Structure 1
Amino acid sequence: MKLSALVVARNEEARLPDCLGSLGFADEVVVVLDRSTDGSAAMARAAGARVLEGAWELEGDRRNAGIAACEGEWILEVDADERVPSELGTQIRRVIAGSPHGFHRVRIDNYVGGRLIRHGWGGSFGTTLKPILFRRGAKHWRAQRVHPGLDWTGTEGERIEMHGIRHELDRDISDMLKRLDRYSSAKAADLLASGEIGTLPDNVRRFVSRTIKCYVGRKGYREGGWGLLIALCAGLFPLLSHLKARLEPERHRP
């Protein structure tokens, strides 16, 4: 059963080597580089990866291009800031050897700096399970800039949770807030492109409900101040996206 590992990146020469070094269990590695100007391409080729270079405005489009370039019957889609432990690689090979399903969710261990934060993620600002292991032809990303939706063919199989992918999500609080700014700007562009930016009251309600869900429902309180910070960012994401689209459309219109 041939397994392809897919990495989609842009100017990630600092983090790409460690990511690629953790994918030795795959039969092939495909790296998609979107408008990269650093040494990522040379690093990827030196590591034995097949490289696809181009320019894609939408995240969904570039990820679909990467999926189309993979030759394996199964594909594992990871990001440059993620590392796959060897134990997880062994478990993935075992799962695909007998799975009749279209896709599986894999556990994600999110780190801020050197701190593992297990609880509180959600609201499009982080997740602890991602559907990143799938059969060729089972997964299609929608045409959006940030957190694009997914269309699936086939059934969902068992969750792979014994071991998790190490996700170096943010370096520190400042890095987390910069990510919130990037995400909300991209989402504002998606809202403007759709012609439906929503209303302020609805997005205020979403801010409250998402913050409470992440801090209480997803047990962010167990992480102390970090959990509160993550919950606030998750709640602010749709509200900031709406405000940028409404108040500064000239800055964010695609």
Structure 2
Amino acid sequence: MSAPRLSALIVARNEETRLPDCLASVAFADEVVVVLDRSTDESAAIAAVAGATIVEGSWELEGERRNAGLTACTGDWILEVDADERVNPALAAAIRTTIAISTHAWHQVPVDNYVGDRLIRFGWAGSFGTTSVPRLSRRGAKHWRAQRVHPGLDWTGQEGPKITEGALVHLVDRDISDMLRRLDKYSSAKAADLLASGNIGTLRANVRRFFSRGFKSYVSRKGYREGGWGVLLALCTGAFPLLSYLKAALEPDRYR
């Protein structure tokens, strides 16, 4: 029996600076597919030089964009990687070992999150960051929901053991200002999703979420071990749902 084929899927928009290193880190895959959403820079040329299959288009919803990439992949297994992420060698080897023996439909992959040059291991929680992502799946097992930010997932088949070797290196933010810009961007997209759903929630519920999610980040996820960075993560984690609600409630015309 031949070894399972692996497709690496990269979804990007105007990522000419970070795309080369990302592509180099997935060169171990049998196929690389790059989905470019409304890109106007040199991303397409960079992907072509790397031998990737390129899918270009325009998608308003993140879920639809990612599903277009899943459809374009032809491997038995698909590894999804964002342009600001890199697969380190230990994870690459673990993925090859996993797909060779797995009887499951999908697996969680460990993540190392960096802000600038600093590795922040603790405090990631909720929709603002995570230390594990379900990025390795059999073709046809995964479907993203039609949402703008952090879309939900529908699965066919059972989850397998989490991969524990290596990590997906996530260059999540360049600095504190970049982190705050991400909070603003994500909460704007989430406000649009809330309005589209017809149920934006209540102020009381989202104030509770501000404190419960901040507590989860700082205490349950041990953000206190990161000093001031843990405080910052807790604030952003708690603020995300509250800020999303406030944008939808106070400025709905901006996000419809």
State whether TM-score is above 0.5.
yes
Point out the more displaced range, 87-96 or 169-178: 87-96
Residue 33 of structure 1 aligns with an amino acid whose one-letter code is L
Deviations 1:70-113 (A, max 9, x none): 00000000100001112211110010001000000000000000
Question: Any idea what SS the aligned residue of 1:119 has?
Answer: coil
Q: Separation in 2 of the partners of 1:88 and 1:102?
A: 18
Distance 1:219 1:207 in 2: 17
Q: Which of 123, 128, 136 is equivalent to 1:133?
A: 136
- Give the drift of 1:24: 1.4
CA shift, 1:44, in A, is 0.3
Structure 1 unaligned spans of 5+? none
User: Partners in 2 of 1:4 and 1:162 — Cα distance?
Assistant: 20
- The equivalent of 1:202 in structure 2 is 205
1:136 CA displacement: 0.4
**Residue in 1 that maps onto 2:32:** 29
Offset at 1:123?
1.3
Amino acid corresponding to residue 86 of structure 2 in structure 1: R
In structure 2, how many angstroms separate the alpha carbons of the residues matched to 1:112 and 1:195? 35
Q: Is 1:225 matched up with 2:228?
A: yes
CA apart distance, 1:161: 1.7
Please tell me whether the aligned partners of residues 209 and 241 of structure 2 are also in contact (alpha carbons under 8 angstroms).
Answer: yes
CA distance in 2, matches of 1:85, 1:245: 39
**Which aligned runs of 4 or more in structure 1 are off by greater than 6 angstroms?**
none
The one-letter amino acid of 1:200's match is L
**Contact 2:112-2:169 within 8 A present in 1 as well:** yes
1:71 to 44, 65, 74: 74
Return the offset for 1:219: 0.3
Partner of 1:56: 59
Secondary structure, counterpart of 1:176 in structure 2: helix
Mean Cα deviation higher: 40-49 or 84-93: 84-93
1:38 is matched with which residue: 36, 41, 57? 41
The answer to whether the aligner puts 1:103 opposite 2:106 as a matched pair is yes
TM-score by length of 1: 0.99
Q: Is the 8 A contact 2:90 2:167 kept in 1?
A: no
The Cα of 1:158 is off from its aligned counterpart by 1.0
| 1:216 alignment counterpart | 219
Q: Which amino acid aligns with 1:28?
A: E
Q: How high is the sequence identity, in percent, across the aligned residues?
A: 72
Q: How far is the alpha carbon of 1:227 from its aligned partner?
A: 0.7
CA distance in 2, matches of 1:208, 1:91: 38
What does 1:61-210 align with in structure 2 at a 5 Å threshold? 61-210=64-213
In 2: Cα distance, 1:243 partner to 1:123 partner: 18
User: Secondary structure in 1 aligned to 2:248?
Assistant: helix
Whole-Å separation in 1 of the counterparts to 2:46 and 2:225? 40
* Structure 1 vs Structure 2 CA RMSD: 0.5
